């Protein structure tokens, strides 16, 4: 943990850190390895909060445009847009963030594009770590500080970037100890380092690399920033097909292959094989989830979202995931 990061004010224990508490925060970063479901889960978390009557801002950090598909709206811009009652969405953009920062804090009126300034800035940003990141994180923290929304949910870039982003205020602060910079980073740290305000939800799937990256992320965030992962969302978990007794029946059916072919036709063994493959895949997933559980500190709660057996896309997928996460919550958030 960075030397300037204050200790966590409260220790969120496993029994407390469920989604109720996740949704009680005012800022949630949703992160995880590429393709694990960050965008879908971020939109689902926002959905649950909106259903509860909250005013929610969803922020897309990676400019891929997937968030606009998930909430079924047109391309997102830096200017937040209300996509439906209670839900706003925006896409992060460093140049617009710089423009807004200069207008709000330095009070420089800027007309039109800020190309030359942005180029100088790019030069600076490439030379000094944390400079670009702080504009994005500053914009997010500003929305939280101003209480423009009840909840800000950030659909972050894949795992690698989040440590640099969340850590930017500490990095800059340690680099430049001058008054203005110190003041300009302190309020961000006050937002980020308060576990009652800010949470990181790490999304994973029941596969080897996503689990490994999740555990690495937890260590890296803990060591290099004042923010810790509070919740792991295990996404795309395959539901158990059989209970123990039925599994026994199924195994005996496999052994009676010849008998089944005679009784139900040649396709019988294809069906048995397909179900067997699905069960084997679930078992491998369960082993990865066990490795995840074993590696997680007790303070981190895991909530589960199932593999959705649907061809639906966009908002429908998000709504189904929101239902599943909300149901997890009713069961106390752990499996
Ligand atoms: N639980 C689920 N069941 C079935 N499909 C899912 C589930 N979660 C996500 N998906 C699908 O997986 C795909 C990837 O999800 P998503 O875009 O949310 O991942 P991501 O982590 O944001 O990806 P990227 O790293 O590219 O930003 C999407 O098509 C989404 O609909
Ligand atoms: Mg995404």
Output the domain CATH number for residue 125. Answer: 3.40.50.300
- Better-predicted residue by pLDDT, 129 or 95: 95
| Cα-to-centroid distance, 33 and ligand 2 (Å) | 10
Asked whether residue 9 is assigned to any structural domain, the reply reads no
Q: Which atom of ligand 1 is nearest to the CA of 305?
A: 1
Instruction: Give the pLDDT score at 77.
Output: 95
| Cα-to-centroid distance, 38 and ligand 1 (Å) | 7
| Dihedrals phi, psi of 152, to nearest 5 degrees | -115, 125
| Dihedrals phi, psi of 274, to nearest 5 degrees | -65, -45
Burial of 73 per CB tally in 10 Å (0-12, 13-18, 19+)? middle
Asked whether residue 81 is assigned to any structural domain, the reply reads yes
pLDDT at 65 over 80: yes
| Cα-to-centroid distance, 48 and ligand 1 (Å) | 18
Categorize the per-residue pLDDT at 247 as very low, low, confident or very high, splitting at 50, 70 and 90.
confident
% residues pLDDT > 70 (the chain): 82
What number is the average pLDDT over the span 270-297?
A: 90
Tell me which residue has its CA closest to atom 15 in ligand 1.
Answer: 37
Asked whether residue 33 is assigned to any structural domain, the reply reads yes
Instruction: Give the pLDDT score at 329.
Output: 67
pLDDT at 8 over 70: no
Asked whether residue 284 is assigned to any structural domain, the reply reads no
Asked whether residue 123 is assigned to any structural domain, the reply reads yes
Give the residue numbers spanning the domain of 72.
19-240+292-330
What number is the average pLDDT over the span 29-35?
A: 95
Q: Which atom of ligand 1 is nearest to the CA of 317?
A: 31
CA distance 41 to 21: 16
pLDDT at 217 over 60: yes
Report the number of distinct structural domains present in the chain: 1
Tell me which residue has its CA closest to atom 4 in ligand 1.
Answer: 308
Instruction: Give the pLDDT score at 269.
Output: 77
Asked whether residue 326 is assigned to any structural domain, the reply reads yes
Token look-up 């963030």 returns: 97
Instruction: Give the pLDDT score at 128.
Output: 66
Asked whether residue 98 is assigned to any structural domain, the reply reads yes
Asked whether residue 168 is assigned to any structural domain, the reply reads yes
Whole-angstrom CA distances from 231 to 12, 69, 220, 322 are 10, 25, 15, 16
% residues pLDDT > 90 (the chain): 48
Whether the CB-CB separation of 263 and 333 falls below 8 Å is answered with no
The helix/strand/coil state of 7 is coil
Model pTM score: 0.85
Q: How far is CA 277 from the centre of its chain?
A: 30
């Amino acid at each position: 943990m960075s030397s300037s990061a204050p200790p966590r004010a409260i220790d969120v224990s496993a029994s407390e850190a469920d989604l109720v508490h996740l949704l009680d925060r005012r800022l949630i970063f949703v992160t995880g390895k590429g393709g694990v479901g960050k965008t879908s889960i971020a939109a689902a978390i926002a959905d649950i909060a909106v259903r509860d009557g909250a005013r929610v801002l969803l922020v897309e950090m990676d400019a891929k445009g997937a968030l606009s598909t998930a909430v079924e709206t047109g391309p997102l811009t830096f200017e937040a847009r209300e996509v439906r009652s209670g839900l706003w969405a925006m896409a992060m953009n460093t140049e617009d963030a710089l423009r807004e920062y200069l207008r709000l804090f330095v009070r420089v009126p800027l007309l039109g594009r800020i190309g030359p300034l942005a180029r100088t800035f790019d030069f600076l940003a490439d030379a000094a770590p944390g400079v670009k990141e702080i504009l994005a994180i500053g914009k997010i923290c500003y929305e939280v500080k101003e209480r423009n929304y009840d909840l800000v949910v950030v659909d972050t870039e894949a795992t690698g970037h989040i440590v640099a982003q969340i850590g930017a205020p500490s990095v800059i602060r340690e680099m430049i100890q001058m008054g203005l910079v110190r003041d300009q980073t302190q309020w961000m740290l006050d937002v980020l380092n308060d576990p009652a305000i800010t949470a990181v939800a790490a999304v994973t799937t029941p596969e080897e690399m996503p689990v490994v990256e999740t555990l690495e992320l937890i260590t890296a965030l803990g060591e290099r920033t004042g923010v810790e992962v509070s919740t792991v969302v295990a996404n795309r978990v395959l539901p158990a097909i059989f209970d123990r007794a039925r599994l026994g029946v199924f195994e005996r059916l496999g052994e009676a292959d010849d008998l089944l072919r005679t009784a139900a036709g040649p396709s019988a063994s294809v069906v048995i094989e397909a179900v067997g493959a699905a069960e084997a895949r679930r078992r491998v997933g369960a082993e990865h989830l066990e490795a995840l559980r074993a590696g997680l500190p007790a303070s981190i709660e895991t909530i589960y979202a199932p593999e959705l057996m649907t061809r639906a896309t966009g908002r429908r997928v998000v709504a189904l995931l929101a239902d599943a996460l909300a149901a997890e919550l009713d069961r106390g958030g752990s499996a």
